[in-house]
Structures are given as C-alpha cells and as structure tokens.
Amino acid sequence: MSDLPTLDTHIDIRWPNPPDPMAETTMRVDFPKMRKGGLRAAVFVAYLPQGKRDAEGHAAAAERAEAMLAHIRSRADGKARRFCATAAELAALYETDAANGPLGVLSAVENGYAMGRDLSAPARWKAQGACYLTLTHNGHNEIADSAIPRAELGDGPSEHNGLSTFGREAIGALNQAGVMVDISHVAKPAMLQAAELSRSPVLATHACCRALCDHPRNLDDEQLDALRQVGGLVQSTAVMSFLNTTSPTGR
C-alpha cells in the first residue's frame, strides 16, 4: 500500500437518507472502498440544492447544512476513522501507517446559498469542523454569480458582475473563521475577484482545465495563472463531463 498522502477534496453525500458508509455501498466512495483503493482521507460535502432566495429558503438550507455536517462528523469514531478539522490534524493522520492507520474524514459546505445573508454562519460551520465553503453551485446566490446561471430560477447571465457587496463581506467572514474559499462553480469574474480579495489562498476543489474541455465551470489559463499567483490549488474532478465535451453536464 502506498503511503502517498492521498486526499479527495469533494465527495457529495446523499441527503436525506444517506447510505451507511461503513458498509460497501453502491456509492462511488465508502470507507471499505477508501481502504481498498488507498484513499487516505476525503472531504465529505454538505451540498445544498439551489432554492428560493428568501428568508425561508435560506433558513431551510442553513438547517440542512448543519445537520449534514453533524452527520459527516458522526461517521468518524476517532479510531478507524478520524475526523480532521485542521491541516495539522490531517498532516498527523498521514504520519500513521497507510495500511492500518485511520482514514481521514473532513467536511465542507457546497453552495453559499446555505449562508443566505448570515455572516455568522462560517464560524458556526468551522465549529462543526468544516474546512471550506464552495461559494456557489449552479445558480447565482447572495454571494456571487455562478458559472452556470439558472434561468428557471430567474437568473440572468450576471447579477453581481462577480462578487456582490455581501459576497465580499462573506469572504472576510470565511477568512476570519478559518474556512477556505472554494471557487468551483463560480463565474470567472467572481473567481478572479475572490482570488484577489481572500487573505488565504482560494482553491478549486473540483474543477478542470478549460483549454482541454470547454465546460463553463472549468478554469481557463487566466484563472489558473491567478490561482498560481495567490498560491491556490486546483483538484481535478474525474467526472466525465469536465473532461470530455460530449458528456452531459454534471455536478
């Protein structure tokens, strides 16, 4: 077994009624598959579907995000599966024996829709162990424009010309709380603005290269240069639609 410090940075969990990840499931990732495949650690994600951008919709999304983060953390028993809330905890995990040591469980939130207009949310998510927020999903939200607007939800091509005023404050709150800024799914102007504004390097946890596959949320050369300039990171997704233009759009 390799002792490479392997990490999958974006795995959506099913919700509601997530399958038991301790058993071999029909999902692409579960703990037995991680062990067999040599995947030492994974970020499991509280993904929030885009809904109505009103107080009720935002409150429901916030409640669901916190329930999902609690569920993800509860899958770690501290022995065979160790929850890692910090870079130091993850680094310590990689020091353990690759074949028999614990698997790393990390958590994150996908879609700033769950934040609504609540600047206190990042600190609460950090207290639950979340390591990043993906600023948007498909569809604009209070924080930023999405690379894929949702016309059926009333989206035009651009709503904020990148980040909104609130979105700039949200990035400050994420920096303050120690929650990383994930720019996967974010429209190019918003991505470039976030890279410049964030006090800690931004990352794309699941995106690919626009020059190789012209998907609206893959990163072009200017974006990749911007990421390099701020010490950011791209983790490629293996979902076919981001690698091959003939595949249907995926998450």
Which one of 114-122, 160-168, 228-236, 243-251 is the stretch in contact with Zn ion (CB under 5 A)? Answer: 243-251
What residues from 118 to 157 belong to the interface with Zn ion (CB under 5 A)? none
Closest distance of CB 101 from Zn ion, Å: 29
Least distance (Å) between residue 146 CB and Zn ion = 11
Per the CB < 8 A criterion, the answer to whether 126 and 179 are in contact is yes
Does position 216 interact with Zn ion (CB under 5 A)? The reply is no
The span from the CA of 197 to the CA of 25, in Å, is 41
Structure-token pair, residue 51: 């809904």
> In whole angstroms, how far apart are CA 159 and each of 111, 143, 172, 217?
16, 10, 21, 17
Q: Which is nearer to Zn ion, 98 or 239 (by Cβ)? A: 239
Measured torsion, CA atoms of residues 219, 222, 225, 226, in degrees rounded to the nearest 10: -90
Question: At closest approach, how far in Å is the CB of 33 from Zn ion?
Answer: 20
Enumerate residues 151-190 that contact Zn ion by CB under 5 A: none
Number of shown-chain residues binding Zn ion (CB under 5 A): 1
Q: Which amino acid is at 100?
A: N
The residue among 135 and 177 lying less far from Zn ion, judged by its C-beta, is: 135
Is there binding between residue 71 and Zn ion (CB under 5 A)?
no
**DSSP states along 89-128:** HHHHHHTS-TTTSPEEEEEEEE-GGGGTT-TTHHHHHHHT
251 near Zn ion (CB under 5 A):
yes
Q: At closest approach, how far in Å is the CB of 10 from Zn ion? A: 6
Reading the block at residue 230, the tokens are 């701020």
In the complex, what is the shortest distance from the CB of residue 207 to Zn ion, in angstroms, rounded to a whole number?
A: 9
Task: Tell me: does residue 236 bind Zn ion (CB under 5 A).
Answer: no
Task: Output the residue with the shortest Cβ distance to Zn ion.
Answer: 251
| Minimum distance from residue 251 beta carbon to Zn ion (Å) | 5
Q: Select 163 or 204, whichever has its Cβ closest to Zn ion.
A: 204
161 CB burial (10 A radius; 0-12, 13-18, 19+): exposed
Count of residues making up the chain: 251
Which spans of this chain sit near Zn ion (rule: CB under 5 A)?
Answer: 251
